[in-house]
Every structure is written in C-alpha cells, then in structure tokens.
C-alpha cells in the first residue's frame, strides 16, 4: 500500500482544526502529521515535519495565509498548499493561484471535496471549489482574445472562446452544446483541443488555467484563424 499523504493543517480556530483532523482521519491514505494556529508556528512546524500538503486558512490571527503559503512554497522541501477561506475569496484567489498555491476551497465545501483536493494536489494537480471557479469565470472578459502561455499567447477561435467561457462555469458537453446550438461531439472536440493546448490533464484544470491566466500551452490552438465550424 502506498504511503499516506502527509498533511499539515493551519487554522486559528481550534474547532476547525479538530474537525478537519477528525474528518481526514477516516481516510487511510491521508495522515495529518501536524497542526498549527498561525503563520509563525505554521512555518516553524513545516520546517520540522516537511508536509506534502498544507491546508492553510486565508486569514490567521498573526498574519495571513497568503504570506504563509509564499513561505511554505519557498522551503527547501516545498509544501503543496491548499488555501481555505470562509470569507470573500474574490480578492485573494487569483493572487493565491498565481503565487503557486495548488488549491483554493471554501470552508462550506463538503469533506469529500477537501479529500479529493488533497489527493489531487499531492499528484501535482490543481483543485478549486466549483463556486470559486464560477466566480472567476464571471470575471472573464467576454471578448478574450487568448490565454498566456510560455511561448506567447494561446490563440482561440471565436467558437473556442465561447466553449472556454462555458467550460470555466462547469457546464457539461451537453449543456454547452445546447447553449451554443452545436453537437456534443463538436463541443468535445473543442474541449479536447483547448485542454491539449493548455497542457491540462482534466476539464477542471483547464477551467482553472483559463480563469487565472496560468496556461501552459506550447503554441496557438490548431485551426486558429479559421471561422469554419462543424455544427
């Protein structure tokens, strides 16, 4: 059996810490190896125990989770950070993901979502609460012309931009097809093309990359510049 994912929990509310530890204890592939209540003791603890994943509250009594996340990511053995918030997240989510946090969840999320997020970020993936992704999608400009990549901008056709905007809202292929009045197969082709160019392994990861601008595509989307669509 593979070793359990080593997790650290940092939250300034004792009940939240205890509740998180208790909830995670039911999953044998996850082990909580330390808890802390603030930025300073969280960083000191991380230096001692080298957790794989750190669950960090955005607002701490002696600082803020973003500052701690930045410090954890700069350690010789960096922790993969999942930020948790019970407050407004619009002002923090882009900053959090841009500095390198792998996840961003709201405290109202079910335990299963946290467990799935821990497993995802431990494998190098990203995870955000659906409502966070939807809020980020609301901020996308309707006339987006491309997404940053390591080699310029990934260019999307008008139809791909429409699919990308709906993808960030968590719509299924059927729902996107109905909205755009195209077939599910056509939607699937566009989604696969977008994922391939963003180097995304899942629809969720593609949605996060699109919403945050942290895309890792290698070049323009194939077919960019063509207005022909298969209905």
Contact 164, 203 (CB under 8 A): no
Residue 212, helix vs strand vs coil: helix
> What is the pLDDT at residue 152?
46
Tell me the average pLDDT across 30-54: 96
Which tens digit of pLDDT belongs to each residue from 110-167? 999 999 999 999 999 888 887 777 666 655 543 344 454 443 456 677 788 888 888 8
Which tens digit of pLDDT belongs to each residue from 50-85? 999 999 999 888 888 999 999 999 999 999 999 998
Helix ranges, the chain (H): 14-24, 39-49, 65-73, 93-99, 111-122, 130-138, 158-167, 173-180, 184-198, 203-212
> What is the pLDDT at residue 90?
60
Interaxial angle between packed helices 203-212 and 158-167, expressed in degrees from 0 to 180 and rounded to the nearest 10: 110
Say how many CA atoms lie within 13 Å of 57 toward its Cβ: 24
Tell whether the model's pLDDT for residue 180 goes beyond 50: yes
pTM flag (> 0.95): no
Portion of the chain with pLDDT greater than 70, in percent: 79
Q: To 10 degrees, the CA torsion angle through 116, 117, 120, 121?
A: -160
Contact 82, 9 (CB under 8 A): no
Contact 53, 29 (CB under 8 A): no
Report which of residues 37 and 133 the model is more confident about.
37
Residue 181, helix vs strand vs coil: coil
């Amino acid at each position: 059996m593979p070793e359990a994912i080593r997790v650290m929990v940092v939250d300034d509310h004792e009940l939240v810490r205890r509740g998180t530890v208790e909830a995670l204890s039911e999953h044998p592939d996850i082990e909580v190896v330390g808890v802390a209540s603030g930025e300073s003791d969280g960083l000191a603890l991380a230096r001692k125990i080298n957790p794989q994943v750190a669950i960090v509250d955005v607002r701490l009594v002696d600082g803020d989770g973003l500052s701690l996340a930045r410090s954890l990511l700069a350690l010789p053995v960096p922790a993969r950070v999942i930020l948790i918030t019970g407050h407004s997240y619009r002002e923090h989510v882009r900053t959090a993901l841009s500095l390198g946090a792998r996840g961003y969840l709201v405290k109202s999320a079910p335990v299963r979502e946290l467990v799935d997020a821990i497993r995802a970020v431990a494998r190098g993936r990203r995870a955000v609460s659906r409502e966070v992704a939807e809020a980020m999608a609301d901020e996308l400009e309707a006339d987006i012309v491309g997404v940053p990549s390591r080699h310029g901008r990934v260019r999307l056709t008008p139809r791909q931009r429409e699919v990308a905007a709906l993808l960030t809202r968590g719509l299924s292929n059927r729902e996107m097809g109905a909205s755009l009045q195209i077939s599910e197969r056509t939607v699937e082709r566009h989604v696969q093309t977008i994922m391939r160019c963003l180097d995304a392994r899942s629809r969720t990861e593609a949605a996060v990359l699109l919403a945050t601008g942290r895309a890792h595509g290698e070049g323009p989307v194939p077919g960019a510049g063509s207005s022909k669509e298969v209905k």
